């Protein structure tokens, strides 16, 4: 959520910034830009790294590229056609460790 107060001059300033039109016209010279509303999103989707089947039969993997505060669902499949949720969580960071203690008894295991 933004704490900036935007006006029509903010729109004008943003358009001038995008197209490199200077000097800023009228109120655009002192208005805040709308640029914070156009933040680039991560271009890489979440991914698994370091997958390992441990000696005790548990499957461990590290998830990377997560968006903090967003819900993440790890799914499993026995046939790569039908998928079922295995775990759901909200990560506070961009990485998370996941261990499936029943990897050998789960679908796809």
In a domain, residue 22? The reply is yes
Of all residues in the chain, what percent carry a pLDDT higher than 70? Answer: 89
Indicate the SS3 state at residue 3.
coil
Contacts of 11 (CB under 8 A, 6+ apart): 34
- How many Å apart are CA 91 and CA 79, to the nearest integer? 28
pTM: 0.52
CA distance 90 to 63: 12
Residue range 41-64: average pLDDT? 86
Kindly report the backbone phi and psi dihedral angles of residue 35, in degrees, each rounded to the nearest multiple of 5, phi listed first: -55, -30
- Structural domain contains residue 107: no
56 shares its domain with 31:
no
Report the distance separating Cα 49 and Cα 62, nearest Å: 5
**Of residues 2 and 49, more confidently modeled:** 49
Find the domain containing 13 and state its range: 8-38
Judge whether 53 lies within some domain. Answer: yes
Instruction: Check: CB of residue 96 under 8 Å from CB of residue 72.
Output: yes
Mean pLDDT in the chain? 87
Same domain, 63 and 27: no
Average pLDDT, stretch 1-7? 82
């Amino acid at each position: 959520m933004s704490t900036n107060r935007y006006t029509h001059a903010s729109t004008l300033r943003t358009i001038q910034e995008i197209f490199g039109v200077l000097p800023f016209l009228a109120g655009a010279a002192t208005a805040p830009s709308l640029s914070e509303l156009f933040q680039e999103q991560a271009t890489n989707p979440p991914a698994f790294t370091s997958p390992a089947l441990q000696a005790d039969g548990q499957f461990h993997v590290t998830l990377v590229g997560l968006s903090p505060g967003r819900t993440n669902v790890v799914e499993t499949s026995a046939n790569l056609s039908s998928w079922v949720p295995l775990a759901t969580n909200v990560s506070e960071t961009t990485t998370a460790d996941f261990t499936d203690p029943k990897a050998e008894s789960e679908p796809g295991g």
